[in-house]
Structures are given as structure tokens and as C-alpha cells.
Structure 1
Amino acid sequence: MDQLNAWFTQLLAGNAIFTANTLGFYWNGLVTTVQLVFLCLLLGIVLAVPLAIGRGSKRWWIKWPIYAYTYVFRGTPLLIQLYLVYYGVVFFNGIQDTIFWEVFKDAFYPALMAFTLNTAAYTTEIFRGAIKNTAKGEIEAARAYGMSKGLMMRRIILPSAFRRALPAYGNEVIFMLHASAVASVVTIMDLTGAAYYVYARFYAPFPAFIFVALIYLCLTFSIMFVFRRLEKRLLAHLRPRGA
């Protein structure tokens, strides 16, 4: 009977939390989550492309620092990285008297930095593997046309590597969407932060978190749909004729 009463209370609370005010919190959390994930992925891929090229360099003083960076950020939890960036900034002497403090005092930007460095490390390794697996015939054909290394990288290797890296990069995008939930621990009102707020106000964990889980699920399936369409379009030459 006590268990039945508890479920009935949760049901009533669930009906109470879906008001215009709480739905506004969910919407703001959704916008914050999308902004954070989109920006970190955009900055991450901008960093990852030159790092992936440098990762394949034969010069040790270029290759090994990049390897150390990717090893550290792929080998440590994202939450720890977020804490180090968010709480570690204040230990720099005099930073509160500089213009940088106007940026770092807002939790959004330390989280964006931590997420960007994390996803750039994973994306670097994804692109490095794709570049390394470029068919030798494509490279020989580019050399036969007299292309320089830079032109060959821009016109042949990178477009081909991007197509091969697309499935793995799609998984990285989904991973970053799910990992962005840790942003709520540094006071960012993202989707998970909105669920925490509604839970704390109405003491209804199941409706609040299940609703947010459904939003994450819809976002995940939307990302999967987009990448499937991209794969179907960019990898059409790999499908059997008539398929």
C-alpha cells in the first residue's frame, strides 16, 4: 500500500510539473545543451584536422606532443577535466584582474573549453586513422598529376578520410551529446540541470528525468538520421550496383 501511495504521489507530481513555467526551463536547458554541444564539436573539429595531420608527421617534435595530448584527454574522465578547467582557473595569480575573468567567471565557457579539448582529442585519433588508411592508389594518382603535398592533402586525402571517418565521428557526436549532461555539475542550466531544478522543486524525480531522457533520445535519433543520410550520400560509390 505504501508503494502504491508513493507511485500515486509521483503521478500527481508529474502532472503538476509540466506547466508553462517548467516547460520554459526545459526549453532553455535544451537550447543551452544544443549550443554547448554544437560549439564544442565545431571548435573540436577545427582543432582536430591540423592535429590529425601533425599526428602522422615523421618529425617526433610534432608527433609526440600531439600524441601526449590525445593520450591524456582520452585516458581521463571528462568530469575530471571539467573540474580542472572550472576550478583550476582561479589558481592563476591575477586572472581576476584581467579581461579573461569576464569569460571564465561564466560556467558556460570553462565547460565549452573542457568539452572542446576532450572531443578534439578523440576526433584527432579518428581522423588520423582515416588519413592513415588512405588508399595508396589515390596518393599515387595524385602524384602522377603533379600535385604538391598540400594540394594532395586538401583535394584527395582529407575528403577521402572524412568519408571514411564519418561513421566513427557520428558516434563521437552522440557521445558528446550524452557527455554534456555533466555540465550541470558546474551550475550550467542544461537539460539535466533543468531536470534537477524541477526535481528539487516538486520532489518528482521520475517524471522530470524521464522527460529529459526522452528529449535526449529524440536528439540522438535525429543525429543518427542525419549521419545515416550523409553516409548514404557520401559513401554511395561503395554500395553494390543496383542496391
Structure 2
Amino acid sequence: MTWCEVPGWLIGNEAIANYGCRMFGGLAVTLQLVAISVSLGAAMALLLALVRLYGGKVASTLVGGYTTFFRGTPLLCQLYLVYYGAGQFRPFLTDIGLWTLFRDAFFCAAFTFTLNTAAYQAEIFRGAIQSVGRGQWEAARALGLHWRGILRHIILPQAAMVALRPLGNELVIMVKSSAVASLVTIFDLMGTTRLAFARSFDLTVYLFAAVLYLCIVEVIRRTWDVAERRLTRHLQAG
């Protein structure tokens, strides 16, 4: 007997008994989607932040335009532009061998989420780097360090402590915003919940989904608290 076949009286709700395993499967898709987009977005964001700060006027303006667009427009609109808009460029995407990727809903969602969170994380990194005192640069240069070494060993470690909490908030936002992926045929947590409700007409499935989202957010919050305490333990010791 599988989880989906467990009698409702053992769980207390027939809809959860019938569709609970599918919702947990959707939860796995949600976590995978968020993990991919946030991880790739973080790497992209750090590069964007450095270009924005030290890449020259033209490059800085381009990055500024990118972050303004993705931070100023709805995530759902961006997802539709990628998912439905890719079909408008099918011949071009086919010629360069990318159509097999863009015709996949999961890839389109991960691609859109990566671009979106990269814009937000880039601004977080930029602000964190700028918060490090100018005297740190001057002292490092006086010691003869190259600018790459200054960034890697002096500036970025200090900026990481400043950026940690806002990055945690961005991760939480992405977990909740990922629900829009269900609108492009992805059976993530919200997608499977909508399916369960359409077949059972029991609002309990939405309550169950809300509890699952809440659990994810709480795990992230507690994990970030532990990470923050460890990164700043030398400051707390004083």
C-alpha cells in the first residue's frame, strides 16, 4: 500500500491521504527549482555586482539597466515572456541548438528565476561591498596586494557578513515566489496542490501546502541564524 492509498481515517483527511504523496513530490520539484536558480543566481550576481562597481561607465550602466528591469517588473510577467516568448524565436533557437531547452517548462522557469534573483542578489552584494570602509582598500594597497587579492581575502569576506541576512531573505522570497511556476504546467508544490483541489474540492490541501511552505521557510530561517552566529562569532566574543 503506497502513501497515496493510505485510508483517509489514518491521516484525518481523505484529500491529504489521496494526494499527499504527489504534494511531497511537488515539494521536491520546488526545492530543486529554487536551489538551482538561487545557486546560479548567486554566482551571476557576484559578477554583476563587481561589474557594476568596477567595470566602467558603460558596463555599469548596462548592469544597472538589467537590475532595474528584473527588480521592477513582476516575476510572473518575466516567466511568461520567457516561456511563451521563446516560441517566437524557435527558428533561431533551433539553429543554435537551444530550442530543446526552451521548450521545457522547468528550464524556462529555472532560467527566469535565475535572472530574477541574480538582479536582487547583485544589489545585495553591491551594497555589502560598498559598506566595507575605503580604508581597507588603502591599507591593503599599502601592503602591496593586488586588487584581486584585496577582493578575495579582505573585501569579500567582510561583505559576506553584511550580505548574509539579506541573502537569506531573498532565498525565502524565492521559495514563496516559485509558486508561479505552476502557471506554466510545472507540477511543483503549488501545481500539485491545484491538481489535488481540482479533483477533491477540499480546501484542506491548500492549508497543507501552506504548512509545507512555512516549514521550508522556518528551516531556512534557523539555518541562516546558525550561519550568521558562526560567521560573526569573533565579533560577539568581544
For normalisation by structure 2, the TM-score amounts to 0.91
Q: How does 1:114-125 map to 2 (within 5 A)?
A: 114-125=112-123
Amino acid at match of 1:106: D
Among candidates 158, 165, 173, match of residue 167 of structure 1: 165
Amino acid at match of 1:199: F
Q: Is the 8 A contact 2:23 2:193 kept in 1?
A: yes
Residue 93 of structure 1: how far off its partner (Å): 4.5
- Residue 188 in structure 1 maps to residue 186 in structure 2: yes
Aligned with 2:132: secondary structure?
coil
Aligned residues: 227
Task: Show structure 2 runs of 5+ residues with no match.
Answer: 1-8
Residue 237 of structure 1: how far off its partner (Å): 2.7
Aligned with 1:189: secondary structure?
coil
Residue 50 of structure 1: how far off its partner (Å): 1.0
Residues 158-217 of structure 1, C-alpha deviations (whole Å, 9 max, x = no match): 11111110011110000000100100000100000011010001111x211000000000
Cα distance between partner residues in 2 of 1:28 and 1:93: 31
- Residue 230 in structure 1 maps to residue 236 in structure 2: no
For normalisation by structure 1, the TM-score amounts to 0.89
Aligned with 2:13: secondary structure?
helix
**Could you say if the C-alpha distance between residues 108 and 58 of structure 1 is closer, same or farther in structure 2, counting changes exceeding 3 Å?**
closer
Residues 44-102 of structure 1, C-alpha deviations (whole Å, 9 max, x = no match): 01101111011112621111000000000000000000000000000014147453222
Amino acid at match of 1:63: S
Amino acid at match of 1:133: S
Among candidates 58, 61, 65, match of residue 62 of structure 2: 65
- Residue 36 in structure 1 maps to residue 33 in structure 2: yes
Corresponding position of 1:143: 141
Among candidates 20, 25, 28, match of residue 23 of structure 1: 20
**Could you say if the C-alpha distance between residues 94 and 58 of structure 1 is closer, same or farther in structure 2, counting changes exceeding 3 Å?**
closer
Residue 138 of structure 1: how far off its partner (Å): 2.3
Q: How does 1:66-215 map to 2 (within 5 A)?
A: 66-95=63-92, 97-98=94-95, 99-204=97-202, 206-215=203-212
Name segments (4+ residues, structure 1) moved above 3 Å: 95-99
RMSD of equivalent CA atoms: 1.6
Residue 128 of structure 1: how far off its partner (Å): 0.2
Corresponding position of 2:6: none
Corresponding position of 1:4: none
Amino acid at match of 2:28: V
Cα distance between partner residues in 1 of 2:155 and 2:237: 23
Amino acid at match of 1:193: G
Cα distance between partner residues in 2 of 1:197 and 1:78: 22
- Farther off after superposition, 168-177 or 92-101: 92-101
Cα distance between partner residues in 2 of 1:128 and 1:36: 25
Aligned with 1:18: secondary structure?
helix
Task: Show structure 1 runs of 5+ residues with no match.
Answer: 1-10
Residue 144 of structure 1: how far off its partner (Å): 2.5
Residue 135 of structure 1: how far off its partner (Å): 1.8
Q: Is the 8 A contact 2:90 2:99 kept in 1?
A: no
